[in-house]
Amino acid sequence: METGQIRLNKVTGEWVIYAPSRRKRPQDFQQPSQDYSLKDNSRENCPFCQDKQKETETILLEIKDSQQNTWQTRVVANKFPALNFHDNPHRNLEGIYMAMSGYGHHEVVIESPDHQQTIATLALPEIEAIIETYRQRYLKLMEDKEIMMVIIFRNHGKAAGASLRHPHSQIIATSIVPSHRRIQEAEAQRYFDHWARCVYCDILEFEMKEKIRIIVENNLFVSFVPFAAEFPCEIWIMPKNHQADFGSITPQEKTAFATILKDSLSRLYYKLNNPDYNYVINTAARYKAEEPQLHWYCQIRPRLTTPAGFELGSGISINPSIPEVDAAFLRD
């Protein structure tokens, strides 16, 4: 396996991951034909299907169904990892630049044995199993003292970066914290220092009072379109109880989160004809889990538009849709 590297951009303060091993995927750097679709990926070529399990790498975690007849979720190491835990986590200077080996963990969560499913179409107990899988792997990866952040995310569809049709999500654990996350932490800290309140809790309280951007809620979670949404039909799912660390989710919260995640994604699935999307669980970095100003949440971004030159040059998003209109559309 080729050795990866992480380099610090001195101008922006952002880290860049170089993962040459990912070039080994046959579809990398090739332009697909016009009729290519993830929906056409066959079971015969799928490494995650039942009859292909002998070809997968070591299973890191497996959750069985209620009858213990078969598995509901499995976790395996990514065959083409962005980061590798065999590398050295220490930083070094290369002239005026800072770099380090590509240390970290990269795992794949196989969400179902059924090749054709997606979270919007799975049964609630199956989604609860996915959330429990996330929780267990999150806690396990945070046992590595070199890890500063665990990022749980899902790429659905070609435009969102998915290369396989079989329902799956991914977990990457890094020894760095990106500067954009530190900026969010700093803004939350400034707000807390000024008002002695969590900015996310204040957002949640206001949205629940106004109702116009709420999509759906239950006793423990709220799904809404954020006031300054950067993408059409962007959705945030936030726990009503203040907590910075996703790993502290309770069994009751697990069920409530699974319920509202399915509901939110089902609305996208049926109202927007199963659009490509990304979601990520934004949670506290190491040493920030008990901070009073931070609040974990799930961010869903449908890939309905393509950022262009202005967004790249300015860092400002252009959203052609209005959050209140999107919320009414999804809520209806």
* Of 173, 176, 172, 156, nearest in space to 164 by CA: 156
Q: Residue 101 above 60 pLDDT?
A: yes
Tell whether the model's pLDDT for residue 88 goes beyond 90.
no
80 band by pLDDT with thresholds 50, 70 and 90? confident
- Report whether pLDDT(54) > 90: no
Give every CB contact of residue 33 below 8 A, 6+ residues apart in sequence: none
Domains of the chain: 5-21+39-176 (3.30.428.10), 180-331 (3.30.428.10)
Percent of the chain at pLDDT above 70? 91
Beta bridge partners of 16: 7
CA distances (Å), origin 240, targets 162, 223, 229, 328, 329: 31, 10, 20, 21, 23
pLDDT tens column, 124-137:
999 999 999 999 99
Average pLDDT, the chain: 90
Give the pLDDT mean for 39-49: 73
Q: Any alpha helices (H) in the chain, and if so which ranges? A: 124-141, 179-195, 199-210, 251-271, 309-314, 323-331
User: DSSP states of 147-201 as a string?
Assistant: --EEEEEEEESGGGT---SS-EEEEEEESS--HHHHHHHHHHHHHHHHHSS-HHH
Is 197:295 a contact under the CB 8 Å cutoff?
no
Give me the active site residues, please. Answer: 168
* Residue bearing tokens 């002998």: 54
76 SS3 class:
strand
Please give the Cα distance from 174 to 150 (Å, whole number).
6
Q: Which of 113, 118, 138 is CA-nearest to residue 53?
A: 113
pLDDT of 184 higher than 70: yes
Q: How confident is the model at residue 2 (pLDDT cuts 50, 70, 90)?
A: low
Beta strands in 13-148 (DSSP E): 15-18, 59-64, 71-77, 91-94, 97-101, 104-110
- Give pLDDT tens digits for 148-175: 999 999 999 999 999 888 999 999 999 9
Are the C-beta atoms of residues 130 and 108 closer than 8 Å to each other? no
pLDDT tens string 209-263: 999 999 999 999 999 999 999 999 999 999 999 999 999 999 999 999 999 999 9
Supply the pLDDT for residue 53.
Answer: 54
Please name which of 27, 28, 22 lies closest in space to residue 80, comparing C-alpha atoms. Answer: 22
At 99 the three-state DSSP class reads strand
For 300-317, how does the pLDDT look when each residue is reduced to its tens digit (9 = 90+)? Answer: 999 999 988 998 899 889
Name, in order, each residue with C-beta under 8 angstroms of 284's C-beta and a sequence gap of 6 or more: 244, 245, 291, 294, 296
SS3 label, residue 213: coil
pLDDT, residue 52, reads: 57
